[in-house]
Structure formats: C-alpha cells, structure tokens
Amino acid sequence: MSIGIEQGTILVFVGTSGAGRKTIAHQLGKELGLQYIISHTTREPRPHESNGQAYYFTTRREFIDADIRGEFIQTAEIDNHFYGIKRSDVEAAFANHSVAYVIVNRSGANKFKYEFKDRAIRLFIYANKQLILERLEARNVSDEVISHYLNHYIEEVSYRKECEHVFENLELAATTQQVKDAILSHIPATTS
C-alpha cells in the first residue's frame, strides 16, 4: 500500500550525539517495522560503518551537484562535512511504510517539523556529558570522534524544549521502552 509523503508519519530522532539515539532508533525500527531513511554524507566512514547502512558515503562534488539539482529535502554542514536526506529516499520510504524515521541534528529536525507539521514527531534523547564520555571511552571510540560529539553538546541539548518527547537515556532497556510507548501513542502497533 502506498501512503505517500503527504500522509506518512516521520519519527525524528534528535539529541546529543553519543547519547544512544542510533541504538534505540534501530532497535525500535526492527521491533515496530519502521523504515529507516538513510542520510548521505561527505565524511569518511568510521570503523564498522559501511555504505548504505549507517550512511550513503559520497564525495563533496557529488553531494553539491545533487544539492544544486534540488534533490535534498534538507542538508546540514557539520564540522566541514555535508549531511543530507534526499526527497527520493523519503518518497521511497513512504511507498510501502506509513511510518519512517531519521536520525538528524537540530537543524534537520526543524526542517522535518516544518515540512511534516503534526506528522513529524521529534524524540529527543540525551545523556549528560560525563556519561557520554564514559560510554564512548569504554567502546574505544577515537578521541577525534569523542571531541566531535562533545563539541556540539550545548548546541544540541538546548533543543530538547522544542521537541514533542524528551528522554534521558540512563538505563538502555528502560529508555527504549519509554521511547516505544511514546511512539505507540502516535501510531498503531503495526505500521508497515
């Protein structure tokens, strides 16, 4: 069944980098049958990231050309890298799903809210800076990535007041359940 971009609901996972957005979003994506809309980026893949899974990795030239052709629904420049989600990927997601999700920063969340209005549900997930640092160090994440995460902390954390739902991710299973309950308050349990 084709829902179309005009009727689909978009879940916008936003928050402080490293707080657990990806872990929670993908877990619930699997459980609830939600379609992930993958971003395009010009940054280098990190260890364990493959093309078409975490991101579509692309060159600056390709990204700029696609942007000039008006292919992106939104773009952001973060730490000298471009990120964006293509309108065609959003349309493809809603061709056979009524609910899809994205994982973006605050400017991306604002853009989806502007485009989808009440059909955009912003789920803000955060943890305190010290906790993020400890979790990332425990996972042997590089110093460069850690400082990239923490440099944007203040800018991102202040966005929580504008979001429909806010979660502090202390205990993973409990937070995942809270996010699930919030999602199910907007959509039926079977979505695809």
Ligand X SMILES: Nc1nc2c(ncn2[C@@H]2O[C@H](COP(=O)(O)O)[C@@H](O)[C@H]2O)c(=O)[nH]1
Smallest separation, CB 60 to ligand X (Å): 15
Tokens of 115: 């485009």
Smallest separation, CB 124 to ligand ATP (Å): 11
Under rule CB under 6 A, residue 44 binds ligand ATP: no
Looking at the Cβ atoms of 17 and 176, the one nearer to ligand X is 17
Distance between CA atoms of residues 15 and 11, nearest Å? 13
User: CA–CA distance from 191 to each of 120, 145, 155 (Å)?
Assistant: 15, 35, 33
Under rule CB under 6 A, residue 76 binds ligand X: yes
Under rule CB under 6 A, residue 9 binds ligand X: no
Q: Would you say the C-alpha torsion 56, 60, 65, 71 has a positive or negative sign?
A: positive
Distance between CA atoms of residues 102 and 176, nearest Å? 16
Residue type, 89: D
Pattern 161-190, binding to ligand ATP, x per CB under 6 A?
--------x-xx------------------
Pattern 18-37, binding to ligand ATP, x per CB under 6 A?
xxxxxx--------------
User: CA–CA distance from 149 to each of 20, 114, 128, 139 (Å)?
Assistant: 12, 26, 12, 14
In the complex, which residues of this chain contact ligand X (CB under 6 A)?
A: 17, 39, 43, 74, 76, 78, 83-85, 103-105, 107-108
